[in-house]
Amino acid sequence: MNQEQKRAHWVSIVEQQKQSQLSIKQFCTDSGISYQTFYYWSKRLRVPDAMQTLPPIIVDEHEYTQALSVNITFTNGIRAEFPATLSQAQIRHWVAALL
């Protein structure tokens, strides 16, 4: 399930809870949903999509340095360090896996 599908799935679940007129705790218990997961997604859905997307990462393979690693710090504070020997495609693969 990709991110858009997950988001749509949880939008549906949060809406079901609102329409059920049950407390969140009771709805989660009855539905077999983790209370913490429900709150995570309900909070995440309140944040606009634009706030959840990261700016594009530009990797320029033409500028070589003597660096031993490539460090990327995302806007959410996550920092990733990759060996400088990785290709642009490999770095993109791992960055996509982190998101």
Q: How confident is the model at residue 55, as a pLDDT?
A: 65
Q: How confident is the model at residue 2, as a pLDDT?
A: 80
pTM check: above 0.75: no
Over the stretch 40-73, which tens digit does the pLDDT of each residue have?
888 888 876 555 556 666 665 555 556 678 788 7
Q: How confident is the model at residue 1, as a pLDDT?
A: 77
DSSP string, 8-66: HHHHHHHHHHHHHTS-HHHHHHHHT--HHHHHHHHHHHHS-HHHHSPPPP---TTS--S
Within 8 A by CB and 6+ apart from 9, the residues are 1
Over the stretch 14-49, which tens digit does the pLDDT of each residue have?
999 999 999 999 999 999 999 999 988 888 888 765
